[in-house]
Amino acid sequence: MTGELEGRVALVTGAGRGIGAAIARGFAERGALVVGAARSKDQLEELAAEDPEHIFAAAVDLRDEASLSGLVDLVVERHGRIDVLVNNAGVAPAADFVHEPVQQWRDTLAVNVIAPMALAQAAGRHFIAQGGGKIINIASTTGVRGKPGLVGYSASKGAVLRFTESLAAEWARHGVQVNCIAPGAFGTDAQRAVLESPDLLARRVRRIPARRMGEVSELVPLACLLAAPGSDFINGSVFVVDGGESGKL
């Protein structure tokens, strides 16, 4: 891999598995110093063990607001700065909306909206002081177009899209770029029920023009571009990566 992220310091949430782990690995392979954060301590430690020179594990519950600014402080104390924040961690509880508990919405918003906001605010203080930084929010195509059975999740990811656009406009003058990746159907644990059922998988794939689900590795080059200096004029953008599903009539 090339070293286009050499020496840059990144915090990646939800790094224990799936998209977050893939992005953390991709950043490290390109020379970045990565702090991977998640609740799953064992998975994080396995990730860090793959490349201890570049990846450090930080177990944290993103529902605990008091720990969020401390997470950014940990990154800065360890590496002296922070250049990139990837807000990837998320929860997607399925529910029949008429019976969905309010507390489930609170939990979903805490992880999917409040945590990215608090981490961006904490990282932003450093970005503004040092003259620049990158925030990459991971949303979902359900934030672009709502999905039945995932009303709370869809609403939270829609909020992430507006958060991305608004913050990008507000902080552009400080040299901070805020962008968003909205994945469609990818082969992660969140899709386990689909992946384990040939019938469900076939039905799901038929809705995707590419006729397959995405691989998490296919999100890494885009994330690396948005983290690199070469993307300094890309700001407030939402990149839908879904094999063409959102674009079909």
Phi-psi region of 57 (alpha: psi -120 to 50; beta: other; left: phi over 0): beta
**Selection from 75, 54, 74 nearest residue 3 by Cα:** 54
The answer to whether 153 is a known catalytic residue is yes
User: If you search the block for the tokens 């384990």, which residue do you land on?
Assistant: 196
> From the candidates 27, 153, 171, 186, which is the catalytic residue?
153
Q: Exposed/middle/buried for 224, CB within 10 Å: 0-12, 13-18, 19+?
A: buried
DSSP codes, 70-100:
HHHHHHHHHHS---EEEE---------GGG-
Give catalytic residues, as residue numbers. 153
